[in-house]
A and B are shown apart, each in its own frame.
Chain A
């Protein structure tokens, strides 16, 4: 037993040593015109060996450490919340307060934080969209970013070639993304599990490569720039109006020009979109279609025997999920003002999926929290940007160890039978 542990610890330390040597210990550096391999500095080596020591000891005394953790009182999130009945009456107030804070907050903080919050809101939208497909309907989709790209390019192209406004394009983007979801869903939804994942992964890549190579229309790798920003009933947020005689926002309201108006305006649009999406999905979950999604995830064969058309139900999940991504995409294009296929690589799909899994499959609150964590954490950990992926991995491992069901495991809005 003890020798077993000892070997185990030696093994783990060895693995750590090898990984650390490769990742941190040696570096490629340009020296004039050639590349040279450089060893790490002494200080870095000290850190590496310190880390190896920690791994060795933690493996050797793993059972003691585990029992220590076991003794620690687990934070009970449930106890912090008031009981369910009180919760029901408090909920509207809490929601109202939350929305008010979200609306007032941007006027008090820096431009950078508002911008970051807008990005977070985009990821919340994407997470909520994928949550329908993966969390509720149980269809693993690894190419979700494709629908995001469709939404973004729809707006970018319509605005560039036809000069259409953001507000007109928003539903078109969502609709077109939904159409793509429908078209993809039709042939692939007879597949299940891993096979579905592979096909959707392929679809995501196809869209990206298409955008990359269809230079004549999409501009290829150069992307599309100068995409028009959203306007407030025709008022632009630029310093000067594009057209002669038109007024801009600050001129109309007689304010001095500030670029932060635009940022705050974008943020408010994002808030509105997120509220809309959250409301929509909340309703859907309580509707027959939402129940059917979950029933299909629970037991497909039983669904078939009860006269539920599984293709139609899966397609609806796919389509609605995709249209949410289309929303997010159109907004993303409007916010950035520039898009290229670079923004829609596989890692984006992976991040969105990670948001859904971290948050707790199917749980809306969880997905929102996870989206916040996943976008804000990398910003806070800027100094560690080189090790971002390492931190990402560490976070995943910790989550799987302590909260395998996600941050906020799904609690279904159970339909209750009222006793007469």
Chain B
């Protein structure tokens, strides 16, 4: 029996009179890939923003490892092990790939000004560890040869992979991916698919995924939640969701 990692109950987000998310429940267990799907504008990204602390949810509880995280600041949440990517790649474009990886490890480094100025042994050791970890993850996502390139000059698919690697060096337990396959070609999508499965199986983290690419979603998800117009519509295994009449209606409209 795997443990409950993330438990969201009655998550609601209102912007003035507009209810963007209404009573969403989510459960993510350890080492699980869970997907959120739904038509455009359904409020999927808003859910992500609430979970990662970019918005403070109007109502509802967000429990990460039995700890309430709703209302915490974004950086505090990411330090607790919940890290996200973005719908549009957000890299530090002018910095090199390796520097992107080091910035992500900022809080693991010795940021004391004096120890940095005098290069104390502790500072050097942490800096070297960070470098090793960065290299390890670059190898994992197959970007090691581009380590000294400017991040903005990478191909789009590589930028996507770098973004995931950059999240991984922060040592998360739950990774939130917001449309990771958007703009990728079929080949790259397949690589991404393998990468996500590897993250779950080898690195033992859970992944919460927003995605429109149904073949990807159906292929790798352990559990799927469907949201339409901010309200939960259905949830279940890929097969259950695929055959749910409500879901088909939401996507294809009524006959």
Contact = CB atoms under 8 A, between A and B. Distances in A.
Interface of A: 280, 283-284, 287-289, 291-292, 294-295, 298-299, 301-310, 412, 414-417
Interface of A, helix, strand, loop or mixed by DSSP: helix
Interface stretch (B105-113, B187-195, B214-222, B243-251): B105-113
Nearest to B109: A288
Contacts, number: 101
Contact of B99 (A284, A291, A308): A291
Contacts of B117: 280, 283, 287
B91 A412 contact: no
A306 B127 CA distance: 18
A416 B127 CA distance: 13
A309 B90 contact: no
30 contacts: A287-B113, A287-B116, A288-B110, A288-B116, A289-B116, A291-B95, A291-B102, A292-B103, A292-B111, A294-B95, A295-B95, A298-B92, A298-B94, A299-B92, A302-B91, A304-B54, A304-B75, A305-B52, A305-B83, A306-B78, A306-B103, A307-B83, A308-B75, A309-B75, A412-B95, A414-B148, A415-B98, A415-B99, A417-B98, A417-B131
B86, B91, B95 pick with most chain A CB within 10 angstroms:
B95
Interface of B: 52, 54, 74-75, 78-79, 83-86, 90-96, 98-99, 102-104, 106-107, 109-111, 113, 116-117, 127, 131, 135, 147-148, 166-167, 170
Nearest to B145: A419
Contacts of B109: 288
B107 A414 contact: no
Q: Which 5 residue pairs across A and B have the least CB separation, nearest first? A: A307-B78, A302-B90, A287-B116, A417-B147, A298-B92
Contacts of B91: 299, 302
B99 A414 contact: yes
A182 B157 CA distance: 41
Contacts of B102: 288, 291, 415
A292 B148 contact: no
A401 B90 CA distance: 31
Nearest to B172: A307
B103 A308 contact: yes
A291 B99 CA distance: 8
A414 B75 CA distance: 26
B104 A306 contact: yes
Nearest to B92: A298
B92 A305 contact: no
Nearest to A362: B94
Contact of A303 (B96, B103, B127): B103
Contact of A417 (B74, B83, B135): B135
A301 B52 CA distance: 11
A306 B167 contact: yes
Most chain B CB within 10 A, of A303, A306, A310, is at A306
B95 A298 contact: yes
Interface centre among B91, B96, B98, B106 (most CB of A within 10 A): B106
